[in-house]
Amino acid sequence: MFHLYLPIAGNSVNVLLVFGLGGLVGILSGIFGVGGGFLMTPLLIMIGIPPTVAAASDSNQIVGASTSGTLAHYKMGNVDFKMGILLLIGGVAGGTLGVQVIKVLRQMGNADFLIKITYVLMLGFVGSYMFIESLQALRKKEVPAAGPKKESKYAQIIGKLPWQTDFVKSGIRLSVLMPLVLGTFVGILAAIMGVGGGFIMVPVMVYLLRMPMHVVVGTSLFQILFTCVDVTIMQSYSNHTVDFILALILLLGSTLGAQFGAKISKKLKGDQLKILLASLVLVVMVKMLLDLLLTPNIMLALKGGH
Amino acid sequence: MIRNKTWIPLFIFVVSFFWHPQLANSTVSVTAKNEPNLIAIGAMFNGTQLTVSGNVGLENNVLVLVSGKQEALTLKKKGKALGLLWMNLGDVHVKNAPSVYLLYSSKANMASSEQDHNALEKLGFGFEYLKKEMEIEAPPAERDTMANEFLKLKQKQGLYAFHPGEISFEQKNETEKSFTAAVWIPPRIPFGEYQINVMEMNNGHIIDTAQHELKVKEEGIPLMLSSLAFNHSLLYGFFAVLIAVVAGLAMDFLFGTGKGGGAH
């Protein structure tokens, strides 16, 4: 009962289970502005979807979730289009470069090792930093989640870069080079790690671009939307791994979840959001680390996936 | 001269027509049928039950095997990197392994001891036999482990299974009984053609066999979508994006606040 056959995945799934998974990830997407690919793909593999189909179909559902999420945040005035487009240009360039990097790594062998280590280190570093920083900010209480107060060395350096411009929505003045370079960096990492990159992009926006948290979430979703449109079309065309039925059930759950997520996001303070995202990132990191350390049940795996 | 020799093939034909070797303890030949003989994978398909039934001699046992074509697979081998971290290290190529192998036997203790496994293997059935038949590109020391892991993976997918003692009998008369095997076809079954082999056994020997074909094919929405995905992949990609965007907009229309502005 409630089962549907997925023609590309070649398996049947419980509709309610997939709908529930979509809803859960959609809420996270709406709250934190992350695509949720780093969470959804392993969950789909766990319910029997082949890894390549899980990753590609997830991108498809993120298109729906981030459309809904972006629109919800746009209505709340939380999308910095200027910043988003610059990050997107950098992200596309970085993604293309990252695909070439991964090709070279695969030829050298041990690419999987580098990918997983990068994953664990990035998640561990980003999660720990955000967690500690948000905890300190919450303890001070009075400090709102606004920009920096002191002129740090970092602020002085980025202040001297050429082509400074105002990002009105974010309320900051930065060089155009910053989002372009950082977008490229995230694009490279996202391509290597095989994910949308939202969970790297959000900390980059908060800590390196110094954008206010509420604008970060909307802008990140805007950027993820376009990245996932590209990935869905490319995966459909090159690898035939997008399962439309799976994506449709997921996105019905996730678009609904994203709406609730956006509302929850509005009720939470910037530091509360940060500490929740940091906890989530750390949980995923610990899960990945355990997968690496514990002896697997079966010593063979199907090809593909992260 | 030529005319004189034509009686030889004629004689062989007539003799073979009337002469049948009498099989030990077999008073009836195995008959079998399967229902259905075509499995259509539609939108609601979640695996199905295939009934294989027929008649055999009263004292005899039955083996039923549903098997797919031999396939070549490339899998990822897990190993320890830096002596600490488990991850995919290199490929393992497996050849000569059937895509599906679902074996049912009427004898419950058919897999309880090594002796039983050997008996089954001698007949050309069972996982031990498969292990010997499949070709695995791996160092000799690892070959057996990899073969076992391959069988584990296939069993986890539901594509390989052995069900001893899961064929039921009902006595029909003094010489024969009917058998029924309820074969579970997993939802993951790839579409294609399959063989159903029924073996009638007596004293550990196969005394008669019957063979049927089973077809598994897609129909309806799954067929339409997979043909679009594989034959018009770019269109499929755009279609998938369009539907996702429309669903996102529809959800926003239904559940969105519609209010602008407002930061923290």
**Domain ranges across chain B:** 21-218
Kindly tell me if the per-residue pLDDT of B21 is higher than 60. no
Note the pLDDT of residue B96: 92
In the numeric block, the tokens 């990492």 are attached to A189
Q: How far is A252 from chain B (nearest CA, A)?
A: 7
Task: Output the average pLDDT for chain A.
Answer: 81
The string over B230-252, giving b where at least 16 C-beta atoms fall within 10 Å of a residue's C-beta and e elsewhere, is eeebeebbebbbebbbebbbebb
Q: Is residue A287 part of a domain?
A: yes
Kindly tell me if the per-residue pLDDT of A295 is higher than 90. no
Calculate the CA dihedral of residues B132, B137, B138, B142 and round it to 10 degrees: -20
Nearby residues of B166 by Cβ (< 8 Å), 6 or more positions away: B104, B105, B181, B182
Secondary structure of residue B145 in the 3-state scheme: helix
CB–CB contact B264 A303 (8 Å): no
Q: Is the ipTM of this complex over 0.90?
A: no
By C-alpha distance, the chain A residue nearest B45 is A5
What are the CA-CA distances from residue A17 to residues A43, A53, A246, B70, B187 (Å)?
Answer: 11, 17, 11, 34, 16
Pick the CATH number of B21-218 from 1.20.950.20, 1.10.10.60, 2.60.40.2550, 3.40.50.300: 2.60.40.2550
Our CA angle for B19, B20, B26, nearest 5°, is 150
Q: Which tokens hold the place of B102?
A: 């679902």
Secondary structure of residue A195 in the 3-state scheme: coil
Q: Which tokens hold the place of B183?
A: 């074969």
CB–CB contact B153 A300 (8 Å): yes
Q: Does B237 touch chain A (CB under 8 A)?
A: yes
Of A31-40, B11-20, B48-57, B248-257, least confident by mean pLDDT is B11-20
Cβ(A258)–Cβ(A68) below 8 Å: yes
Task: Output the average pLDDT for chain B.
Answer: 81
Kindly tell me if the per-residue pLDDT of A99 is higher than 60. yes
Kindly tell me if the per-residue pLDDT of B8 is higher than 60. no
What are the CA-CA distances from residue B169 to residues B49, B58, B165, B166 (Å)?
Answer: 18, 9, 11, 10
Size of interface A-B (CB pairs under 8 A): 218
In the numeric block, the tokens 């997921």 are attached to A250
Cβ(B52)–Cβ(B34) below 8 Å: yes
What are the CA-CA distances from residue A172 to residues A78, A116, B49, B106 (Å)?
Answer: 14, 35, 65, 77
Strand-strand pairing, B31-35 and A172-175: unpaired
Note the pLDDT of residue A180: 92
Q: Is residue A306 part of a domain?
A: no
Q: What percent of chain B has pLDDT over 90?
A: 40
Highest mean pLDDT among A46-60, A244-258, B110-124, B180-194: B180-194
Cβ(A59)–Cβ(A293) below 8 Å: no
Kindly tell me if the per-residue pLDDT of A147 is higher than 70. no
**Eight-state DSSP code of residue B185:** E
Q: List the domain range (segments joined by +) for residue A128.
A: 3-293
**Chain B residues in contact with A234 (beta carbon < 8 A):** 237
Q: Is residue A186 part of a domain?
A: yes
**Chain A residues in contact with B247 (beta carbon < 8 A):** 64, 67-68, 248, 251-252, 255
In the numeric block, the tokens 């009836």 are attached to B28
**Chain B residues in contact with A71 (beta carbon < 8 A):** 248-249, 252, 256
Note the pLDDT of residue B36: 72
**Eight-state DSSP code of residue B110:** G
Residue B236 has its nearest CB partner, among A69, A212, A236, at A236
Highest mean pLDDT among A223-237, A265-279, B227-241: B227-241
Note the pLDDT of residue B123: 84
Rounded to 10 deg, the angle between the A81-108 and A111-140 helix axes is 140
In the numeric block, the tokens 């004689």 are attached to B11
Of A103-107, A232-236, A256-260, B57-61, least confident by mean pLDDT is A103-107
Of A235-239, B15-19, B111-115, B230-234, least confident by mean pLDDT is B15-19
Cβ(A195)–Cβ(A123) below 8 Å: no
- Band (pLDDT 50/70/90 cuts) for residue B161 is very high
Kindly tell me if the per-residue pLDDT of A225 is higher than 60. yes
Q: Is residue A301 part of a domain?
A: no
Note the pLDDT of residue B194: 94
- Band (pLDDT 50/70/90 cuts) for residue A101 is confident
Q: Count of domains in chain A?
A: 1
